[in-house]
Structure 1
């Protein structure tokens, strides 16, 4: 399944917000990411068309099975890579920023090797 980095970030954000809130709306995503509501609306339309999310008539956003799968994969990569970089002595903020970039381009094989090595 090929999905772009922006879509992965949106899905990961929906997952993170859904862990902290009873419902997630476009405005919540816009606030979290610092984006305009109009940009988020376009992204949500694209994710809905690709069946990665559903949106209720009230505007509540939920991950579909495929959306959740992608979001959890990216979230796991982010968390593990951030923690690994911090363990190596990288400042937590820098580690998180670097992990955010790496999580989208690292191959499954390389990530699994790092995960195995760390654990």
Structure 2
């Protein structure tokens, strides 16, 4: 029996404007939070790797300039997510640690699901880096359920 092909044509009419705009609103909010989440996750990774999270290392790993990192670290300090110590690195607060753990769990689930689908490990890692910020709790739960059921 031939597989059913997915159509690229819209099968349903556009939703009403309010419903339609909710998806775009959610995406804009996720995009704004993604940068903060990337920094917090990277700081946690550097610390867990046995190193201090230094501004120079953060800049190198994110591929941005040190002044860009300095601005973001000031914002993260204001938001209560990191603390800085003179002549030392950057440290996560309890709130920062909580965010890092949540992001890691989302990232791991998305990456595992992509690999479960047959995506190469390298591509799954790269794709998960962007998707983790946009995927809903409901979708993550469905990913986990599907992998467990068909595991």
Q: TM-score scaled by structure 1?
A: 0.89
Task: State the distance in 2 between where 1:101 and 1:109 align.
Answer: 18
Residues 1:81 and 2:110 are matched in the alignment: yes
Structure richer in helix, relative to its length: 1
Distance 2:143 2:93 in 1: 28
- Name stretches of at least 5 consecutive residues in structure 2 with no aligned partner: 1-29
For structure 1, list consecutive stretches of 5 or more residues without a partner in the other structure.
none
Structure number with greater Rg is 2
Match of 2:92 among 54, 63, 69: 63
The alignment status of 1:50 with 2:72, answered yes or no, reads no
Aligned length: 118
Among 111, 122, 129, the residue aligned to 1:93: 122
CA-based RMSD: 1.6
- Tell me which residue corresponds to 1:107: 136
Equivalent residue, structure 1, for 2:40 = 11
Q: CA deviation at 1:110?
A: 2.0
Q: How high is the TM-score relative to the length of structure 2?
A: 0.72
Distance in 1 between residues matched to 2:110 and 2:53, nearest whole Å: 26
Structure 1 consecutive aligned stretches of length 4 or more whose deviation exceeds 4 Å: none
- State the distance in 1 between where 2:94 and 2:134 align: 22
SS of equivalent to 2:67: helix
- C-alpha separation in 2, matches of 1:106 and 1:83: 14
